A and B are shown apart, each in its own frame.
Chain A
Amino acid sequence: MASLKAYIITRSLLVIPTILILLTIVFFILRIIPGDPITAMVGQKVPPEVLEKLRHEVGLDKPIYIQYIDYLKGVFTGNLGRSMIWGRRPVIEEIMDHFPATLELTIFGFAISVLLGLLTGAIAAFRRGGKIDTSMRIYSIVAYTLFIPWFGMLLQMFFGVYLKLLPIGGRITPGNAPQTITGLYVIDSILTLNFNALIDALSHLVLPSLTLGIVLSGAYTRIVRNNLIDVLNQDFITAYRARGVGEWKVIKHAMKNAFIPVVTLMGLQFAILLAGAVLTETTFSWPGMGTFLIERIEYRDYTAVQGAIVFYAVFVAVISLIVDIIYALLDPRIRY
């Protein structure tokens, strides 16, 4: 049954063990590390009765295997407990408030990194062996080693403080947010035809997504270059050229064939994208998941921290599933 459908079904089922392993690792890190997380996070300043009450509420006074079962049950029913500070809202609701901001930033950052990577990689491949090739190669290594907060702040300094062209932080001017439909300001403002908000949201997006995009583009530059060179050396390209096919058409065919490894890289880069987003968000006061995680660690909000990390784990597993399915759609050889 080597069909695409069979592949997609098998691959989707395999996401369950992956999520289970990730959830177990998270559980292990947050609970079994010596000492108990409530004491570690809330500290010794709180009276023992309060500490005991908190431990009871989070379920830390139960045997470890029951804690584990409760934890998995909670995750699979979408119940991540209640936040321990400020109005004690359900953690999942708080995450849903912050997630669209991260999604918007990562989508734009991702798009910029792939576009830049395709562009620089293709230029390097078509000018291989020359100075342009070497400089693209240097670009790919240097881009990777840029420290995100630093690079972000340099951009803030130049475009925000010095040229005063772009805002240096936040997602939108306060009070200017469009009506919430998807939570993605760019899409919401288009849907509600609120062009004032659209321009505002985009101007806030430019610097953070450029920061993230440029740092991540280096890996694409390299893989696009190497694959394009391999493809350009293949017989079918020589055959196209021999038949007098125009150079632009040759480029089109070569790019199409060089694209499959790029999709693989997209899957691998996703983790780096999320990690990079945490630093980008902190640098640009971007109210996303990364800001949420760091803020709650500071406030010692244990349930929220656990919820955020669990959310990241599930998100990573789901994205890797989607990437594999796209990969199978592009390459008919990938089947079980």
Chain B
Amino acid sequence: MEVKNLATTIFSIIPKTEGRYMVMVGLAIVSVVIVMAIFAPFIAPYDPIKSSGNALQPPSLEHIMGTDNLGRDIFSRIVYGSRVVLSVVLSAAFVSMIIGVPLGLVSGYYGGKLDRALSMLMDSMYAFPGLILAIAIAAVLGPSVLNAIVAISVVYIPTYFRMIRGQTLSIKAQLFVEAAKAIGATDSRIMLKYIFPNLIPTLVVVFSLSVADAILTEAGLSFLGFIVSAPTPDWGFELASGRPYLPAGYWWMITFPGLMVMLLSLGFALIGEGLSEIYAPRRER
């Protein structure tokens, strides 16, 4: 009863635009994966790293997504794999935000030489292909979950910086900021109490869209072998292990993990796209 009320309240807060449905679908997908990650031991029918049947069995009632080359249940591996993807991507997003947002805010607010130097640095990093930057960092640091978080967070710092800086520039030109200055508010107070709250909508959109992108980067790094090693399950890595069996027609080893990567990325992309539509609806055309 209470849960239902909460859900209807949330639903009624979101304005009735096309974006609303995108946000709802996106939230549904993301919630399913989060539940999967948290309750993995209860959801997965088999041990993800132990053989639970014959090798390379097609999907059946016992193994709904089939078994891999070592007879492990693919569905169980996917359920556990969601833990690696989500923890890497969400931690990386958190780190990028912690660094990118304050830098963007300060840079946009004060302007001047610091702003020019930071912008030039961030623009150059932004221009560099994200996955290749992540590969370079992961190669130097060595393959591990922690290093993947470092590599991915470096890639997305410029994304947060650029959006926050741009927004800060336009907000600081508004009257209420000028009024705050006139009554003698300090710079840090203006940034925290007047500008930052207005940045939150942008931040939520940038977060969702950059996480959608980071999921693909994580899967890419994992596919290339820069995150986990056997037998740890991770979606991108599963694709690499299934690749040698593709020419023989074992489609299920790659189909399901890749589908999950797409769905999770799509979930975050829909949330971001939907929200940006709600905040700035497309003109009636």
A residues apposed to B, CB below 8 Å: 17-18, 21-22, 25-26, 29-30, 33, 37, 40-41, 128-129, 141-142, 144-151, 153-154, 156-157, 160-162, 168, 229, 233, 271-272, 274-276, 278-279, 282-283, 293-294, 297, 305, 309, 312-313, 316-317, 320
Contact = CB atoms under 8 A, between A and B. Distances in A.
Q: Is the interface of A mostly helix, strand, loop or mixed?
A: helix
A275 B259 contact: no
B278 interface: no
A154 B255 contact: yes
Nearest to B120: A21
A316 B127 contact: yes
Interface of B: 120-121, 124-133, 135-137, 139-142, 212, 216, 219-220, 223-224, 236, 239-240, 242-243, 246-247, 249, 251, 254-255, 257-259, 261-262, 265-266, 269-270, 273, 285
A141 B269 contact: yes
Nearest to A285: B243
A141 B270 contact: yes
Contacts of B121: 21, 25
Nearest to B243: A153
A233 B142 CA distance: 54
A283 B270 CA distance: 27
Give the residue among A21, A26, A149, A154 with the most B Cβ atoms within 10 A: A149
Contacts of B257: 150
B249 to A, nearest CB: 6
Given A17-B120, A22-B127, A145-B266, 15 more contacts: A18-B124, A29-B140, A33-B141, A128-B285, A141-B266, A145-B216, A147-B219, A150-B258, A150-B261, A154-B255, A279-B223, A279-B224, A293-B132, A309-B132, A317-B127
B265 A147 contact: yes
Given A40-B142, A147-B258, A233-B285, A312 B129 contact: yes
Contacts of B140: 29-30, 33, 37, 40-41
A294 B223 CA distance: 11
Given A30-B140, A233-B285, A320-B127, A153 B246 contact: yes
